[in-house]
Structure 1
């Protein structure tokens, strides 16, 4: 894919994860996409699978927002660094709401085909999240 097309897909993807707009999700994510998330032992599939991840995040952090800080592409593969910010206002991985604001990084790889995301391998800083919500002591 040309660089401008890759940027467009990624910008629309960020809009999708920040709004949880299911229609937008179907636009930018292939129905056959596989998402490998550390929170799930098996890959999640398609836009519905990604909505599951967004739902999990929004249940713990209703105001969660992601900022795409940088991305590097080679062919149809994109490496992206995000900052996730939100307020721990609901249960997250069994930890009751703390009211703490969090700001953590994530490094993800995206695989694109035909103008859509067909795969993702995500590595969010879950340790940083758990430290910032008070579930794990900070060093």
Structure 2
């Protein structure tokens, strides 16, 4: 059976990050996957590593949702632009809940093999998030 197309894997991945469903995580993320997130100094690994990132996001923005706005792919590599929206209802990077709504962009690169994600380099607009929750003054 051939691997799923990149678009199908990415649609399932978006479903995973919006639901934090661990079964979906294991379906779309390779156990050997390596993730580079600006929130963590060292790479995270496998579905468990990604669940850690999702847990960190949901602890501060419990209603966080990602929308895949566009994707460009070449072979088994995809560049994706997301909009991330949520409400700052819990501590986030040490900043107490503000109740502020957040909406920022993220640009990520995904690497796939055998129908699963094996790597990601994510660049969410953390400065935008920090400005919108009141931790950093906006220009």
* TM-score over 0.5 (shorter chain): yes
Report deviation, 1:66: 0.2
What residue is the counterpart of 2:83 in the other structure?
83
Deviation at 1:33, TM superposition (A): 0.1
Q: CA deviation at 1:29?
A: 0.1
Deviation digits for residues 51-87 of structure 1 (CA, Å, limit 9, x no counterpart): 0000000000000000000000001100000000000
Q: Deviations over 1:114-139 (max 9, x none)?
A: 00000000000000000000000001
Aligned to 2:97: 97
Q: Which runs of 5+ in 1 are unaligned?
A: none
Q: Secondary structure at the match of 1:33?
A: strand
| TM-score (normalizing by structure 2) | 0.97
**Root-mean-square deviation (Å):** 1.0
Aligned residues: 137
Segments of structure 2 that go 5 or more residues without pairing to the other structure are none
State the SS of the aligned residue for 1:9: helix
Could you say which residue in structure 2 is the equivalent of 1:128?
Answer: 128
* Deviations 1:15-68 (CA, angstroms, capped at 9, x unpaired): 000000000000000000000000111100000000000000000000000000
Q: CA deviation at 1:108?
A: 0.1
**1:52-91, aligned counterparts within 5 Å?**
52-91=52-91
Which residue matches 1:36? 36
